[in-house]
Amino acid sequence: MKAEIIAIGSELLTPDRLDTNSLYITDRLNRLGIAVERKTVVADEHNQLRDAFRESLTRADLVIATGGLGPTNDDLTREALSELLGRKLSLNNDVLRTIESRFRRLGRTMSERNARQAMVPEGADVLENSRGTAPGLWLEPDGHVVVLLPGPPHELQAIFSKHVEPRLARLAGDTRLYARELRTVGVPESELDERIAPIYTRYGDVQTTILAGLGEIQIHLRTWSKDGPAAERMLDELVELIKLALGESIFTTNGQSLEEIVARELTLNRATIAAAESCTGGLFSERLTRIPGSSSYFLGGAVCYSNELKTAWADVPAALIEAKGAVSPEVALALAAGIRLRTGATLGIGITGVAGPGGGSPEKPVGLVYIALADAAGFKEHVMRFPGDRERIRWHASQMALDTVRRYFLYAGQGKPRSAGVKS
């Protein structure tokens, strides 16, 4: 079954807005074994809308259109499709009553123009909208399926999961999507692909997509099959081979974030953590506290931008800062050790560097960051040179610091943390 998505709305043709509903829809369709072959964004303009529907119906079995179902004169999706299909559009009293009662529940009066939203093309099924006024519509012209959905994502998703998916599941057959999402940190994209291409290219039934994000690379593995257990076995096998090739740089095989993984390790090991950050400005603490329940392992973070606060909050000796400079491996280690002792945490993290754009020098260029981890037994320290602008450098540094904690637990119970050596 081949699908096309038409996103309707003049605002989607400005520089300010993207159609993101199609990502959700594509994901749900793919799970049903339905591929999306084209996406079109078109303005709220009668003839253009009609033409877009006509063209899509010549190519696709299923056309899903989003938007243009509002109450105003700008919303023309119903009219354009009805004209194309030669179906009469008429007021549906059930829908009208549903809209009226929705307004009553909210203590408001329905305005005249909302009645537009109760207009239904001849022969269309109404898909109830539990979160808004415009219902979805399902039509089956000449053996095709056309679904109209309102644009607001929470309305669209409620209608899709409740009404559209079950209907499509009946039409779509037994094929389903099976997927894995691996994420890695620390291996450059070209090197990663060189290592795993010989593996994944042998799995012709699995669609492999490699996405380079900031400070991590995602490997999406997807396969469609009528035989679930066989598909799962194949994916498991492929994941195992990729793990052999990439080793501990993989931090998840089911799409978790790095902070989730670190949170899990801290929790499993009943460890606590505190951080003293300079150039990252609180980003490490902020990311770790995104996770619900973080107060059980995160004790606190000091954003010590000034030298005085490095001394006051993390007991970094002023003489050390004077002698080595605020951006130095010695100060990173002192921040980690100091914040650990101050807070009584199992682990301390220290981060100091030059995020730029100013403040760089030939010896300490923009992008140079020192990251240190301290536990009761010793220290571990990295020096990294990150590319990009201030935002990217800060993100990379927080990513590297989180990964330092993750790798620490890979060796926990094996004595002193491994020395990581120097990379650049």
Pick between residue 296 and residue 419 the one whose CB is nearest to a second copy: 296
- Cβ at position 356, least distance to a second copy in Å: 7
- Cβ at position 13, least distance to a second copy in Å: 5
- Cβ at position 242, least distance to a second copy in Å: 17
- Cβ at position 164, least distance to a second copy in Å: 16
Q: In this structure, what token pair is assigned to residue 220?
A: 């999406």
Spatial separation of the C-alpha atoms in residues 233 and 193, rounded to whole Å:
23
Pick between residue 14 and residue 424 the one whose CB is nearest to a second copy: 14
Pick between residue 31 and residue 407 the one whose CB is nearest to a second copy: 31
Residue 4 is which amino acid? E
Pick between residue 26 and residue 98 the one whose CB is nearest to a second copy: 26
Spatial separation of the C-alpha atoms in residues 415 and 359, rounded to whole Å:
38
Pick between residue 36 and residue 164 the one whose CB is nearest to a second copy: 36
Pick between residue 43 and residue 89 the one whose CB is nearest to a second copy: 43
Q: Which helix (H) or strand (E) holds 225?
A: strand 216-225
Pick between residue 300 and residue 317 the one whose CB is nearest to a second copy: 300
- Cβ at position 90, least distance to a second copy in Å: 30
Residue 54 is which amino acid? R
- Cβ at position 282, least distance to a second copy in Å: 3
Closest CA to 207 of 172, 234, 227: 234
Residue 121 CB-half CA count within 13 A: 23
Spatial separation of the C-alpha atoms in residues 334 and 143, rounded to whole Å:
71
Task: Give the strand pairing for 250-252 and 176-184.
Answer: antiparallel
- Cβ at position 206, least distance to a second copy in Å: 13
Q: CB count, 10 Å around CB of 128?
A: 13
Strand-pair partners of 2: 35
Strand-pair partners of 180: 221
Q: In this structure, what token pair is assigned to residue 140?
A: 């089956």
- Cβ at position 10, least distance to a second copy in Å: 9
- Cβ at position 293, least distance to a second copy in Å: 6
Spatial separation of the C-alpha atoms in residues 227 and 180, rounded to whole Å:
16
Q: In this structure, what token pair is assigned to residue 223?
A: 């396969």
Pick between residue 69 and residue 302 the one whose CB is nearest to a second copy: 302
Closest CA to 51 of 76, 72, 26: 76
DSSP structure string for 143-201: G-EEEEE-SSHHHHHHHIIIIIHHHHHHHH-S-EEEEEEEEE-SS-HHHHHHHHHHHHT
- Cβ at position 14, least distance to a second copy in Å: 6
Q: What is the CA radius of gyration of the chain?
A: 28
DSSP structure string for 127-148: E--TTSSPPEEEE-GGG-EEEE
Spatial separation of the C-alpha atoms in residues 41 and 47, rounded to whole Å:
14
- Cβ at position 222, least distance to a second copy in Å: 8
Is there a contact between 66 and 7 (Cβ–Cβ < 8 Å)?
yes
In angstroms, what CA-CA distances link 182 with 35, 119, 162, 248, 268?
22, 46, 30, 12, 21
